[in-house]
Structure 1
Amino acid sequence: MAHALEPKAKTLVEAGSDAPYGVIGDLDPRLRVVLACVFAITTVALATIPALIAALATAISLLLMSRLPIRRTLKRMAMMDSFIIFMLVLLPFTMPGDPMFSLFGFPASWQGLWKAIEIGLTANAVILTLMVLVGTMEPVTLGHALHKLRCPEVLVHLLMFTIRYIEVLREEYLRLRGAMKIRGFRPGTNWHTYRSFGYLVGMMLVRAIERSERILGAMKCRGFSGQLILLQEFRMTRRDHRFAVLLGGVCVGLLFLDYL
């Protein structure tokens, strides 16, 4: 049981030290969460192509400051784009406006094309900023930052336990699938397969509930009272204030550029 309670991320003492990520890693985690939300709200409020291009350029600048591997980060961005690419491709054909060309009798409008470009720029700028400012934090650090920002403790606990035990559920799933294969199960398009996968999901839920009860009992035995106990206090530095003023000024500049 002690092994099940050991975190795989940083310990509480190490929370907040994300130095490998350059200037971004040295910032206060609370500030990073707040600035990510402010920049996301500002970017979503933009409506012109030049302002959105400037927002994406700002996100790319943050990426360079964070020293993240550019190729791997862009691959993750491409995975996100794959979810919206179909909407962006179909938008010119579904939005009325001035016809651009016709494909199989369906006219494509210029208005739809510009709207698709706006959505693409907005999504990439917001996601890239979140990946840089929030995605570079350890899960424990993020949980502590949200707790310090007065987020509901129940949601913070749910986030931290989900991150910690998602791998445990995956291992449990692999064990059950292995047991099914040993018994000769081969998936197909039939009722036996559907019923077997239903049993698999049900067994995972039952075992997850049993494990959660054991973990709760072990935590209570160790003095857990339902509150997060932090061994390190976050402190704002001059670098944090300068970065906040800089990114805040950029957000104001983006809004000003959008209304020109």
Structure 2
Amino acid sequence: MTPSMMLPQDPRLRLLTAFGAVLLVSQIGGLVTALSALAAAAALTLAQPQRPGWRRLVHLEGFLILLFVSLPFTVPGAPVASLGPLTVSAEGLLLAATLGAKVSASVLVLTLLLGGLEPARLGAALAALRVPETLVRLFVATARYRVLIGDEARRLGEAMHARGFTPRTDRHTLRTYGWLIGMLLVRALERAERVEEAMRCRGYTGRIPRLAAPRPAAREIAAAGLIVASAAALLMVDRL
């Protein structure tokens, strides 16, 4: 089986596979099993022809560092070291390592299965899985206009700096940022009104028309089942 065949291509299967795998991995309680899940997710990621999404793991570093800093000192257990009045427990270290491995494995699985899906395709998959239409519309609109509003905020910021604005810790800076946020909200509202008018002119009635998705191939169903079955097998081993 080639690397591209190791993953389902149908967006509906990708959603279900990601949800099932992350749900099963989250129930793992042992460090060895959690590290096995992380190793399996990393191996599957490295097997793909496209560039792995390691950058998303970097965003987790602050959270994982917080785990390793706080849990060893707050979870009671057998002391292994002391730092002044604080004591490092073996149970805290074990819990921090287990949580770190599970979170990293889950992020790799989500990145692998959902990272390359466009918001429109992901929204269509959610609708095909009978997710309420209102939630689908909110998701697609948020994913689309987050980028547009971000670009608008960057243009306003560049205009402020072109006029000599330099941020400081004073009242003028706070007032200027308040004006920036207010102008951004006004422009976002105006854009939303124009988009709504354009959609109604095109016959929009509250539901986004979508074509019926084809039935997933047997190979894709087998690939999805293999990933979920592997996560279930790790959970069963962990519970033995």
Question: What's the TM-score, normalizing by structure 1?
Answer: 0.85
Asked if the contact 1:25/1:66 (under 8 Å) is kept, the reply is no
After the TM superposition, which residues 159-174 of structure 1 pair with which residues of structure 2 at under 5 Å, given as runs? 159-174=139-154
Unaligned stretches of 5+ in structure 2? none
| 1:25 CA displacement | 6.2
Quote how far apart the aligned CAs of 1:177 are: 1.8
Q: Taking every aligned residue pair, what percent have the same amino acid on both sides?
A: 38
Structure 1 residue 24: Cα displacement: 5.5
Q: Which residue of 2 aligns with 1:59?
A: 41
Q: Which piece of structure 1 moves more, 200-209 or 232-241?
A: 232-241
Please tell me the residue identity of whatever aligns with 1:58.
A
Match of 1:220 in 2: 200
Q: 1:231 aligns with which of 203, 211, 235?
A: 211
CA contact (8 A) 1:33 1:134 kept: yes
User: Partner of 1:34 in structure 2?
Assistant: 16
The more displaced of 171-180 and 112-121 is 171-180
Matched letter for residue 242 of structure 1: A
> Conserved in 2, the CA contact under 8 Å of 1:27 and 1:239?
no
1:23–1:65 CA contact under 8 A, matched in 2: no
Measure, in 2, the Cα distance between the counterparts of 1:47 and 1:160: 35
1:1-260 counterparts in 2 under 5 A?
A: 22-23=4-5, 27-70=9-52, 73-231=53-211, 233-260=213-240
TM-superposed CA distance for 1:94, in Å, is 1.4
Runs of 4+ in 1 over 6 A off after TM superposition: none
Equivalents in 1 of 2:161, 2:32: separation in Å?
Answer: 56
CA separation in 1, counterparts of 2:50 and 2:61?
Answer: 19
Amino acid at match of 2:26: V
Whole-angstrom distance in 1 between the partners of 2:35 and 2:90 = 19
Amino acid of the structure 2 residue aligned with 1:220: R
Partner SS, residue 66 of structure 1: coil
Name the CA distance, whole Å, in 1 between partners of 2:98 and 2:7: 30
Moved more, 57-66 or 109-118: 57-66
Q: Which secondary structure does the structure 2 equivalent of 1:85 belong to?
A: helix
- Answer with 232-241 or 192-201: which moved more: 232-241
> Secondary structure of 2:60's match?
helix
Provide Cα deviations, 1:22-47, integer angstroms capped at 9, x if missing partner: 23665211011011111111111110
C-alpha separation between the residues in 1 aligned to 2:77 and 2:103? 23
Aligned residues: 238
Q: Distance in 2 between matches of 1:215 and 1:30?
A: 28
Q: Distance in 2 between matches of 1:120 and 1:110?
A: 15
Shift of 1:62: 2.7
Query: What runs of 5+ residues in structure 1 fail to find an aligned partner?
Result: 1-20
- The 1-side partners of 2:171 and 2:6 are apart by 52
Q: Does structure 1 retain, via aligned residues, the 8 Å contact 2:8–2:223? A: no
Provide the C-alpha distance between the structure 1 equivalents of 2:187 and 2:6, rounded to a whole number of angstroms: 40
Deviations 1:209-237 (CA, angstroms, capped at 9, x unpaired): 11101110011101112212223513211
Question: RMSD of aligned C-alpha atoms?
Answer: 1.8
Q: Secondary structure at the match of 1:231?
A: coil
* 8 A Cα contact 1:22 1:67, kept in partner: yes
SS at match of 1:163: helix
- Name the SS of the counterpart of 2:59 in structure 1: helix
